[in-house]
Amino acid sequence: MNGELDTMLASTTGSRRPGPAVMDYRQATWVQSFGRSMVRVLIVEDERRLADLLDRGLREAGHTVEVRHSGPDGLLAASTDAFDTVVLDLMLPGLDGLAVCQALRERGNLVPVLMLTARGAVPDRVAGLDAGADDYLSKPFSFDELLARLRALHRRTADATAADLRAGDLLLDPARRRVMRGEVEVEVSAREFDILALLLARAGQCVTRYQILDEVWDGETDLRSNVIDVYIATLRAKVDKPFGRHAIETLRGAGYRLQPDGG
């Protein structure tokens, strides 16, 4: 089923890329950690065939799925019903994905949003993250990749028991998913939060790109490593620059290091 779905996804989204090596997602760790409890997913996608395939695949994995085909319908559904994750296409009739995401955040709705963007469209990704999306996935994608992203998003919302991480006046509170610089609360996306948590947990030590990919992106291998630079840049712009600090160092050719004193 999974291989078949990948092939269909690829043809739907116009890819010539074959599906990945077949892995039965019923045996994947996602099912063990994420699939045990039912997860409610909202899919907002105007390509009917793609939406139907995602709907079917996620239902077969044991989840509850709602599908909407336009921006306004998606926004209404996400605002009136509680979902664990929203898979939000960027190009939608009525309201695009960015506007939907922004509207949700403005209403204080922090549901994890996975944005679907066109392949390689870097400005789209940056705009998506700026609009408050937690992650993005470029079309065409494999079903396994989607599952991996959803699993990671879900896991992030589940570390409510972890202890605070601190370096100087930089504080990260996993239970509330909050970042503070002194008395000031800093808004970060879910992915930024995870990277900062990793750097803080290993303050004073070099954290390599590979470690970040492995722990924050769940070992996805087809990710371009410069995506990490983008996240580091936005993190610096949030936790360092406005405060005249330099907590996050780049170790050329090696990785990153967070100053144990908070910079």
CB atoms within 10 A of CB 151: 20
**Residues touching Ca ion: how many (CB under 5 A)?**
3
- Please report how close the Cβ of residue 55 comes to Ca ion at its closest, in angstroms: 15
Q: What tokens appear for 182 in the block?
A: 């002194």
CA distance 110 to 134: 10
Classified as helix, coil or strand, 259 is: coil
Closest by alpha carbon to 116, among 132, 100, 104, 128?
128
- Please report how close the Cβ of residue 139 comes to Ca ion at its closest, in angstroms: 9
Q: Which residue is nearest to Ca ion (CB)?
A: 91
- Please report how close the Cβ of residue 127 comes to Ca ion at its closest, in angstroms: 15
8 Å CB contact between 140 and 10: yes
- Please report how close the Cβ of residue 115 comes to Ca ion at its closest, in angstroms: 11
Residues numbered 212-241 forming contacts with Ca ion, rule: CB under 5 A: none
**Is position 91 an interface residue for Ca ion (rule: CB under 5 A)?**
yes
- Please report how close the Cβ of residue 64 comes to Ca ion at its closest, in angstroms: 23
**Is position 89 an interface residue for Ca ion (rule: CB under 5 A)?**
yes
Binding mask 171-210 for Ca ion (x = CB under 5 A): ----------------------------------------
8 Å CB contact between 71 and 92: yes
Identified binder of Ca ion from the candidate list 7, 20, 23, 46, rule CB under 5 A: 46
Closest by alpha carbon to 117, among 109, 126, 125?
125
Which residue type does 206 have?
C
Binding site for Ca ion (CB under 5 A): 46, 89, 91
